A and B are shown apart, each in its own frame.
Chain A
Amino acid sequence: MPPTPPKKMKTANDLDGKKRRQASAKSVVNSFVVKHRPFSFLRIAAITGNTFTELVRLKVFYFLLIFALLLIANSLFMARLSFQQEFQVLKDVSLGAMSIFSSLLAIVATARLIPRDLEDRTIYSILAKPVPRHEYLMGKLAGVLLLLALSILAMSALFLVLLFVREHILVNETLRATASLRPEQIQEALHRLKASAFNANLFPGIVIIYLKAALLAALTLLISTFASSNIFTILVMVFVYFIGHLQATAREYWLQDHSGGWLVRAFLALVALAFPDLQLFNLVDDIVAGTAIPMTLFSQTAVLGCVYTSIYLFLAWVAFQGKEL
């Protein structure tokens, strides 16, 4: 029987080596743990990019965009039909189209995000990775907001080009028609024409349209966190859209008129407190009619839009955080 080798006594060096190995393993683990930050813009950007690509690939959105652009182009034709108010019609139709299409796009695009991810099971692979749920929601919303921004930019560009072309044509016509008048009369005619065509206040109006769409997108995200289907989310949001435009009326009756019964007042209070005031974001109607928007008013409205979007995103996170997937 071969002699059994004597049990090697653990030296101080061996103990140190084991500790070193353990320490190095720990540091490797720690390095992975440290690398995973609780909040990462890169992760959000990845989800945003993915959501944006996914949305852009959907033909329905191309259709909506083309439809919106066609409507704006059509407004040029309508402008020719009406007589003195051609610019007003052009601006009304264009900005109205921008408002409805951005709102529709916000609702329809956001409503399908979570249900589709659940259906495709991509949500499981995303959330199985170290991606917190708030980042997932932020990325999804940012993707929609990016899509909305690009859509509104495209529509605005087309609208401004149409406005410029129409103004140019009318300036030439006016110059021809007023050739025999005094220079100051020609100047005044041109000044009136130009003042009714392009108005710098249109830009804040377009920004407010975008903020309204962003608010609707965030609210749709909140509804879609507990909705069973995207049809339900869209239907709820259509109601919210209409009620939101009446919220200011409900609020005023609730706060000022004390003639209704308690049931009516309770209902009005519920509408005023639970629904967003979308009328506050309807400034383009009056901007087109020539009303100037002061910068402070624009800033306050814009801040309110951002607060609404943030709060609805936060509530969506609260709802989504506890959701069993």
Chain B
Amino acid sequence: MIRWAIIFSLLLVFGTLRLSIEAALTEQHRSAYFHQARLGLDLREQIGQLGFLAALSGFRSLVADVAFIQAHVAWERTEWGRVLLLFREATTLQPRSVLFWDMAAWHMAWNASVAASHDPFLTNNALRHKAQDEYVALGKDFLERGIKNNPDRPQLYESLARLYKEKLNNHAAAARLFARAAALPSAPERDKRFAAYELSYAPGHEREAYEALRRLYDRGEHERLPTLCSRLKYLEQKLAIPLDERAF
């Protein structure tokens, strides 16, 4: 009996000693973007007891994959409500997967919103527009939450920029997001160009856009792509740039 008391005491002493170390290590893990998922009771209701248990036992990512595959099946059947719920599960379980956020946003803002605009059950155009806007807003929400969880990755900034450009017609916001993506270390070279292109479409930002495009143009042949040249030429004319300063 005394031996067991000694062992239990030693276990508690070890527990006390490692407590602060583990808490600090957990914080370090979180700052390196590990263990970001927050498993609450709402998720337990969504994924069921077994799924929740699996998620708690170290199979979070696997349960997220299952939800993602189910969402894919629901998309094939155009069950948009189910697609939304399943993507919420997948992204909650695996918030570090850029693919999940990106696909969720794409399904909502592009596929579901277009499907809503042709929905025969919605009686008039006003309702269809409303539904369409709601799906676009859902897509935007997925991307914004995705960026909060993955601020170190450029893909979701790019996707949100595309959403602003194509669905909300907000080129200034798209330019800002492309520029934020371009500032990240793993960003592709094209993000800087895309930021400048979008700025060139944004009313009131012509001068700024011209300067950005000109800087890129001056970098050399490899940056002088057809779109860049045409936008630069357009802005030179629009801003009445002196002939001797023009590239075209």
Which of A's residues lie within 8 Å of B, judged by CB?
81-85, 88-89, 92-93, 96, 99-100, 188, 222, 226, 241-242, 245-246, 248, 251-252, 255, 272-274, 277-280, 282-286, 288-294, 297, 300-301, 304, 307, 311, 315, 318-319, 322
Contact = CB atoms under 8 A, between A and B. Distances in A.
Interface residues of B, number: 46
B14 A311 contact: yes
A89 B65 contact: yes
Contacts of A294: 32
Given A96-B59, A248-B26, A286-B36, A272 B19 contact: yes
Given A290-B96, A319-B4, 20 more contacts: A82-B72, A84-B103, A92-B62, A93-B65, A96-B59, A100-B58, A188-B188, A222-B7, A226-B4, A242-B56, A246-B56, A248-B26, A273-B11, A274-B15, A285-B61, A286-B61, A289-B96, A289-B97, A292-B32, A301-B29
B16 interface: yes
A255 to B, nearest CB: 7
A17 B115 CA distance: 111
Contacts of A288: 61
The 8 closest A-B pairs by CB, nearest first: A273-B15, A285-B61, A289-B96, A289-B97, A96-B62, A282-B58, A92-B61, A322-B3
Contacts of B96: 286, 289-291
A63 B157 CA distance: 47
Nearest to A241: B57
B72 A283 contact: no
Contacts of B188: 188
Given A100-B59, A300-B25, A85 B34 contact: no
B194 interface: no
A222 B64 CA distance: 35
Interface centre among B29, B58, B99 (most CB of A within 10 A): B58
Interface in B45-75: 53, 56-62, 64-65, 68-69, 72
29 contacts: A81-B69, A85-B68, A89-B69, A92-B61, A92-B62, A245-B57, A248-B22, A251-B19, A272-B19, A274-B12, A274-B15, A278-B58, A283-B34, A284-B61, A286-B33, A286-B35, A288-B61, A289-B97, A290-B96, A290-B98, A294-B32, A297-B25, A301-B25, A301-B29, A307-B18, A315-B14, A318-B3, A318-B7, A319-B4
A290 B96 CA distance: 7
Given A96-B61, A318-B10, A88 B15 contact: no
B23 interface: yes
A34 to B, nearest CB: 32
B133 to A, nearest CB: 27
A285 B93 CA distance: 10
A300 B65 contact: no
B239 interface: no
Contacts of A252: 23
Interface string B146-158: 0000000100000
A278 B58 CA distance: 9
Contacts of A100: 58-59
B21 to A, nearest CB: 7
A291 B61 contact: no
B240 interface: no
A273 B68 contact: no
B169 interface: no
B39 to A, nearest CB: 9
